[in-house]
Amino acid sequence: MSTLKADLKDMYRAGKVTFPEFAGELASTVEQLGDASDAWQAQAFAAGSPTSLTRAVAINDDAYRLLRRAVLSWHAAATAIVAVADDYVATDERAAAAADSIGGDLAERRLELPPVPPARSGGQG
């Protein structure tokens, strides 16, 4: 049962703590990319849209879109891991007993995911 308890604890920690923390860090980076894109867009317009700056804005927007999708993927992975652990605890007596013996509030902790930066319109992120 100690191995089962450790496995459940690892699953809950990953789904409720580690993955959401990483998603939050990544979301912060995505927001910074969005802010940079807005600033670069204004500078590109003021400078007459030079090719190099326009390309930099496009690359930044691509990075925004891709990293935003990564945040959504971390959310989905966290949700799936917690769902699997919860289902296992709900359908297996040994897993339920192991979950009851996990220290702290990890098994009972609510899954809280950080906000996902908004999709950007007009060809941006």
Give mean pLDDT, residues 50-59: 88
Does 67 reside within a domain?
A: yes
Angle between helices 51-91 and 19-46 (to 10 degrees): 160
Is residue 106's pLDDT more than 90? no
- Residue whose tokens read 């690359």: 59
**Residue range 10-48, pLDDT digits in tens:** 999 999 999 999 999 999 999 999 888 888 888 888 888
Give mean pLDDT, residues 107-124: 79
Does 117 reside within a domain?
A: no
Instruction: Read off the pLDDT band of 109 (50, 70, 90).
Output: confident
Does 113 reside within a domain?
A: no
Q: Which domain holds residue 31?
A: 2-100
Does 96 reside within a domain?
A: yes
pLDDT at res. 78: 96
Sorted by sequence, the CB contacts under 8 Å of residue 77 that are 6+ apart come out as: 15, 19
The total number of structural domains that make up the chain: 1
Instruction: Read off the pLDDT band of 122 (50, 70, 90).
Output: low
Give mean pLDDT, residues 71-83: 96
